[in-house]
Structure 1
Amino acid sequence: MASSEEILFHLSEKIDFMQVHLASASSATRRSLESGLEQLRAAGGRVTSGEAWEAARQRWHLLAAATADRWQHVRETAGQFNLQEFIEKARFLVLTDVSTIHVGLLGAGFGAGLLVGYLLGRRRRASPLGRPALMRAVVCCGYQGLDDVLLVEDQPRPEIVTPHEVLVRVKAAAVDRVDLRIASGYGRTLRRQTNKYNPHVTSELPVVLGRDLAGVVDQVGPEVTLWEVGDPVWAAVPFWRPGTLAEFVVLDEKELCRKPDGVTFERAAALPYSATVAWDALVTQAGFGPDVAPDKRVLVHAGASGVGLVALQLIKTWGGHVTTTVATRLVPLARMLGADDVIEYDTADLEKELSLRDKFDVVLNTAGPSLHAACLRHCADSGLVVTTVEAALPSDRYGFVLGSLYALWVRLSRLAGQLLFLPESWGTVTFSPETLAQLGVLVDARELQAVVEHTFDWQDADAALQYMARGDAVGKPVVRFRHTDAQPRPATPL
């Protein structure tokens, strides 16, 4: 163990070492301060003596002299320019070295550039100033099914962005089976890509549900010529677009059609989407119509669905023979709408009943893939099987690489469609006011009826979705919006 003398000796050494270092640091600090003060005094001396000002003045004179020299050179060059000689040389070049093809390609490129710039400018995103107005809507905030469906009162109200848009005050909107699939993620990739070009959408979620609407025009863009404020309209939108279960919806003026006068807003709202799908299946795919349908045998599976009810009535209106499958409780409804033959699928042996009948010229499958094999068995050799159930989209399962290529394909397809003035369909049914106008004529003539078993107020919209999810709904449930402000708002210039 060290003695006290050794401890004191070591402490003394450490104290001496610290004193030396402190003295060294103090000396270094003092020298640094003295050097800084000396530099400041020297700089101040140069300023007070005018040395710095003289150096700045010399730099300024050199810069002015260089600028004057450059300007003189530009003037001399411009003075030597002979406009007549330039025109003659350009004319000689065009006549000898430039062909008509070159001129045509130059003009075509310039025109294409102007057109693309114009179209992109028309579709530019707009950022409205101030806090947006809010509205009530039915949305899905995720893709986990009905658990992610919400009734919200703070959804931003869409505003007119382009001159040909119309703001519609929705009176009623219907719930479709595809809305249940959207809430589970159907079409999410395509929707995410197309939303990039939609100025009314700022994020992937939430997604407004609903595919049909009936309402009145609330505002019109400055270049709208087809509609006026207060006009009653109806419309349908595809699954990859924002939905209609909201108090207000913005659409292009060419996407709207005048609502038939003979039906209420609630009944009108149940038709546009389902009726367009049924029309596409029968007319576009099966080639049916008033001239073809007579004496043709058609089987409509799930005749009480939204599409089935419309298809059944259209075939009877055109003179065809209709066999349909419905639940026992709905047999009177099917008979009332004109079905010639009704099979009760919940009590009878469906396969046996169909085997007892002659094969059909057209089989319309509105139920789903589970019946596809049976549809083929009961279709005539020269017949046709048409399905109205949306097929699964491979793009919903794409990863990063395929997703990037898909995004590029969507962009190129949209650009080509805009250049050729083609409607966006993405391989699905094309929803057009021309189809709705033909359906409206049938509605006014009482040859096509809207069947609505239940109508729900907005605050009960979740019950409408649950009702549709049960699988035994008649037609489609309709959600009604009661607006506190019944007066249309005046149009505002863009």
Structure 2
Amino acid sequence: MKAFILDRYKKESALRFGDMPEPVLGQDDVLVEVHSAGLNLLDSKIRDGEFKLVLPYRLPLVLGHDVAGVVVRVGANVRRFMPGDEIYARPRDGRVGTFADFIAINEADVALKPKNLTMEEAASIPLVGLTAWQVLVERAKLKKGQKVLIHAGSGGVGTFAIQLARHLGATVATTTSAVNAELVKNLGADVIIDYKTQDFEKILSGYDVVLNSLAGDTLQKSLNVLKSGGKLISISGPPGPDFAKAQGLNWFLKQAIRLLSFGIRRKAGARRISYSFLFMRADGEQLSKITSLIEAGIIRPVMDLTFPFEATNEALAYIETGRSKGKVIVKLR
């Protein structure tokens, strides 16, 4: 099968377009013919080697973390899906590889595609949808009447998280550029901060939750908008001890990660704010709940550009510019 392959870790390098063996189908797996695949900065970070210590992939590796396609074969133990089903998924870590003609996915990671979405639209959802769900619903337990700040509101996670937070009944603030203000307003943002001309930490206060996806000093500044008992949840790091434990890392790496997050955890603790890092996980059951919200018209996909499969490297370069609004997709069929 044709695929985009990572042969060695190298910053901003091109993936190799070549041939790979068709995936081996396990007893609990579905074999999916890929129709569309979503791109994420996680793909670029893995390619650059940023996760090689905590996600020990064996190279060569096919990248890609979002998929929409059709089931063509099922394993002996599979009961929820059958050939011909249209599905979407975020395959679990260790089994990614949606930049290819086919991928084998554990059925626990898969959900039926929303009936009202195209394959391209469906491929834009899994990673960002599950990330927003696990931050806002699972960890933050966001409730009606609470206030949440969602950074980078026009990005993939941001556009989904704004809609989900609004559905949960929260007051939503977001940071974005002026050119994207109308987009985030239409998604449900109540307070819009132009990060180029305004300091969010001087304008906002008394917030219950912050979803951070940015690097630099944004994490530290976010402490200033939270009230005592608030929650600062970051998907861009630094990871904490809980992440190291969940990944089963060795003692040395556990200590190194503990040190990485020590500063922000100490500052948060002094203000009675909880800090945590979230590295989203695959979950077909949660994705099915997201499907219900999409089919009910509560959440809609926000997409920027769709590239042909052969232009996957160009699509990766585009998302790395940071200028995309919503998700970028490659189309195979």
> Is TM more than 0.5 here?
yes
Per-residue CA deviations over 1:264-293 (Å, capped at 9, x if unaligned) read 1101101101111111111222112xxx2x
Letter in 2 for 1:350: D
Deviation (angstroms), 1:240? 3.9
Instruction: Name the residue aligned to 1:267.
Output: 121
Letter in 1 for 2:27: P
Instruction: Name the residue aligned to 1:350.
Output: 199
Identical columns (%): 31
Alpha-carbon contact 1:151-1:462 (below 8 Å) kept: no
Deviation (angstroms), 1:370? 2.8
Deviation (angstroms), 1:245? 1.4
Letter in 1 for 2:280: V
Gaps of 5+ in 2: 242-248, 254-277
Alpha-carbon contact 1:191-1:241 (below 8 Å) kept: no
Letter in 1 for 2:314: A
The alignment partner of 1:145 has SS state of coil
Deviation (angstroms), 1:428? 3.8
Matches within 5 A, 1:300-379: 300-346=150-196, 348-351=197-200, 354-379=201-226
Matches within 5 A, 1:19-38: none
Instruction: Name the residue aligned to 1:443.
Output: 294
The alpha-carbon distance between structure 1 residues 357 and 377, as it changes in their structure 2 partners (threshold 3 A), is closer
Alpha-carbon contact 1:165-1:250 (below 8 Å) kept: yes
Structure 1 length-normalised TM:
0.58
Instruction: Name the residue aligned to 1:24.
Output: none
Question: With CA pairs under 8 Å and 6+ residues apart, which has the higher RCO, 1 or 2?
Answer: 2
Per-residue CA deviations over 1:122-169 (Å, capped at 9, x if unaligned) read xxxxxxxxxxxxx121222111122142222x1221132x32221100
Deviation (angstroms), 1:371? 0.7
Alpha-carbon contact 1:278-1:307 (below 8 Å) kept: yes
Per-residue CA deviations over 1:2-60 (Å, capped at 9, x if unaligned) read xxxxxxxxxxxxxxxxxxxxxxxxxxxxxxxxxxxxxxxxxxxxxxxxxxxxxxxxxxx
Instruction: Name the residue aligned to 2:101.
Output: 247
Tell me how far apart the structure 1 counterparts of residues 52 and 70 of structure 2 sit (CA, whole Å): 30
Alpha-carbon contact 1:305-1:366 (below 8 Å) kept: no
The alpha-carbon distance between structure 1 residues 474 and 158, as it changes in their structure 2 partners (threshold 3 A), is same
Deviation (angstroms), 1:222? 3.0
Alpha-carbon contact 2:39-2:330 (below 8 Å) kept: yes
Alpha-carbon contact 1:361-1:382 (below 8 Å) kept: yes
The alpha-carbon distance between structure 1 residues 310 and 188, as it changes in their structure 2 partners (threshold 3 A), is same
Tell me how far apart the structure 2 counterparts of residues 259 and 349 of structure 1 sit (CA, whole Å): 40
Tell me how far apart the structure 1 counterparts of residues 229 and 158 of structure 2 sit (CA, whole Å): 23
> Are 1:452 and 2:299 counterparts?
no
Instruction: Name the residue aligned to 2:133.
Output: 279
Matches within 5 A, 1:112-131: none
Deviation (angstroms), 1:305? 1.4
Which of the two has greater helix per residue?
1
Letter in 1 for 2:310: Q
The alignment partner of 1:460 has SS state of helix
The alignment partner of 1:367 has SS state of coil
> Are 1:136 and 2:29 counterparts?
no
Matches within 5 A, 1:111-190: 135-152=1-18, 154-160=19-25, 162-190=26-54
Tell me how far apart the structure 2 counterparts of residues 376 and 301 of structure 1 sit (CA, whole Å): 13
The alignment partner of 1:430 has SS state of coil
Alpha-carbon contact 1:187-1:393 (below 8 Å) kept: no
The alignment partner of 1:447 has SS state of coil
Letter in 2 for 1:446: G
The alpha-carbon distance between structure 1 residues 392 and 206, as it changes in their structure 2 partners (threshold 3 A), is farther
Per-residue CA deviations over 1:148-200 (Å, capped at 9, x if unaligned) read 42222x1221132x3222110011111111111100113324443xx6xxxxx
Tell me how far apart the structure 2 counterparts of residues 175 and 167 of structure 1 sit (CA, whole Å): 20
The alignment partner of 2:303 has SS state of coil
Tell me how far apart the structure 1 counterparts of residues 133 and 65 of structure 2 sit (CA, whole Å): 16
Per-residue CA deviations over 1:337-378 (Å, capped at 9, x if unaligned) read 1111111112x1224xx4233331111112135311110011
Instruction: Name the residue aligned to 1:382.
Output: 229
Alpha-carbon contact 2:71-2:86 (below 8 Å) kept: yes
The alpha-carbon distance between structure 1 residues 392 and 298, as it changes in their structure 2 partners (threshold 3 A), is closer
Alpha-carbon contact 1:208-1:246 (below 8 Å) kept: yes
The alpha-carbon distance between structure 1 residues 177 and 285, as it changes in their structure 2 partners (threshold 3 A), is same
The alignment partner of 2:304 has SS state of coil
Tell me how far apart the structure 1 counterparts of residues 208 and 250 of structure 2 sit (CA, whole Å): 41
Which of the two has greater strand per residue?
2
Deviation (angstroms), 1:404? 10
Which is greater in Rg? 1
Kindly report the root-mean-square deviation, in angstroms, between the aligned alpha carbons of the 2 structures. Answer: 2.2
